[in-house]
Chains A and B, each alone.
Chain A
Amino acid sequence: MPFPFLLILLVAALLLQTSVLEVVSVAGVKPDLVMLIVVLNGFLLGPREGAFLGYIGGIVEDLFLGEYIGLNAISKMAAGYLAGVAGERLYKENTLVATGVTFFSAAAGLLVNYLLLFFLDLHVSPFYALLRLALPTALYTALLAPFIFGRIFRYFQVRSKDF
């Protein structure tokens, strides 16, 4: 996927995240679309590309918010890297595998986010952070994976045939 297109996709995901996703939030939890794009691309492209895309996606989100710049960059970099590592070891053509990888990578990224909050002197109760936020968000994000994984996968297949 061309990088400028990915950047536009990330910004569009961010705009949706601040507006439309409020409507589909379940018990206040919204899916993380930026995380979804990062993880699925990382899964297909590899750990280095996943980490790079995660860092870029996260930094765009941080700049958009204008505070704690780097918080999402590092957590999404970790998620992208993990998804890439998983992509090297697992069968890529299965949507169920991609969904599982999305869940675990997103959960790991959110866990990194939680740990970084301590570095920023923000203390959040582990019960709320893990059970009310990290796991539900990772699950909700992973449930969206089947809807877009097929499209991304086909795109990479077509592209590999072209070259």
Chain B
Amino acid sequence: MGWVTAKRLFFLVVLVAVTLAAMRLTIPEPDRLTPLSSKFRDVLAPAQSGLTWLSRQARHVVTMPLSLYGAAERSQALEQEVESLQYEITQLNEYKAENQRLTGLLNYKQVMVQQYDLLVASVIARDPGNWFATVTLNRGSRDGVRENMTVLTPQGLVGRVITVSNTNCEVLLITDPRSGVGALIQETRAPGIVEGTVGSSGLARIIHIPNDAQVEEGQVVVTSGLGSIFPKGIPIGIIASVSVESAGLFKRADIRLFADMNQLEEVFIVTTVFPEAGTPPAGGG
């Protein structure tokens, strides 16, 4: 090995070692967001929000030319008119869909008013990679959002707030491998922990179910309220398949989640849990 190669190898080893150390030092801790990261997020939030809105509009507009296929005989002017009308219809449909979603949220909020104080938030950005599952919401500390607040949709549990800046917050979805939620099977009251698999899969599983518990496909999994982060009784999903953990002491089961993690647009942040909360809310499916 020549001196040049040795020096390069030494530099590479030092670089990798320093990077590995940095990686360990920057493992996220709850309630920690540096002022620099906070500012960085606040500055990027409008750009991310704008791009997300644009992409959602584009998805609806892209389907429009298909409906115009085969209309070659029409005059250019008429086609243009049709295009503009189609665009308008697409926009109106988008408003209609948004209206239906918001009406659903409002109904849910009215039903849940006895149990929780809910704050509506929109998803403005997602984790850039596929390993983890986090989303950024357009609500921050100025709206009263705090770390560890529960995030849900009328269908079921979504995750919890992990970091908050002034104008937005980051939510750890229950499909993230770092997420753990105290849960129980509604029918049998058997306890377990719901953990994520990988971010992109949109799947979660319940682990550490006692071996003697009756676990079957189709049973509903809800939050247990243990651990003091998630309120009790929020629907999580339905058991899709059951297996035995490798150690043989517990069972585990894959869960089909009620909330579609890949299609999140508007969500609720639970800002206050009233003492009588705990009965399972409506929804789930």
Contacts and interface: CB of A to CB of B under 8 A. Distances in A.
A16 to B, nearest CB: 7
B52 interface: yes
B24 A120 contact: yes
A66 B40 contact: yes
B26 A117 contact: no
Interface in A10-47: 14-20, 22-23, 25, 27-30, 32, 34
B262 A14 contact: no
B197 A119 contact: no
The interface residues of chain B, by DSSP majority, are classed as helix
A69 interface: yes
Contacts of A15: 44, 47-48, 51
Nearest to B12: A51
B197 A18 contact: no
A20 B55 contact: yes
Given A18-B125, A18-B126, A19-B52, A120 B27 contact: yes
A84 to B, nearest CB: 14
Contacts of B70: none
A64 B37 CA distance: 8
The interface residues of chain A, by DSSP majority, are classed as helix
A133 interface: yes
Interface string A74-95: 1000000000000000000000
Interface stretch (B128-136, B151-159, B182-190, B221-229): B128-136
A111 B3 CA distance: 32
A97 interface: no
B20 to A, nearest CB: 6
Contacts of B129: 17, 32, 61, 72
B128 A73 contact: no
Contact of B56 (A23, A34, A128, A137): A23
Nearest to A35: B129
Interface of A: 14-20, 22-23, 25, 27-30, 32, 34, 55, 61-62, 64-74, 113, 116-117, 119-125, 128-129, 132-133, 136-137
* Across the A-B interface, the 4 shortest Cβ-Cβ residue pairs: A19-B51, A70-B19, A17-B128, A70-B23
Given A18-B128, A27-B200, A119-B20, 5 more contacts: A18-B127, A20-B51, A69-B19, A132-B200, A137-B130
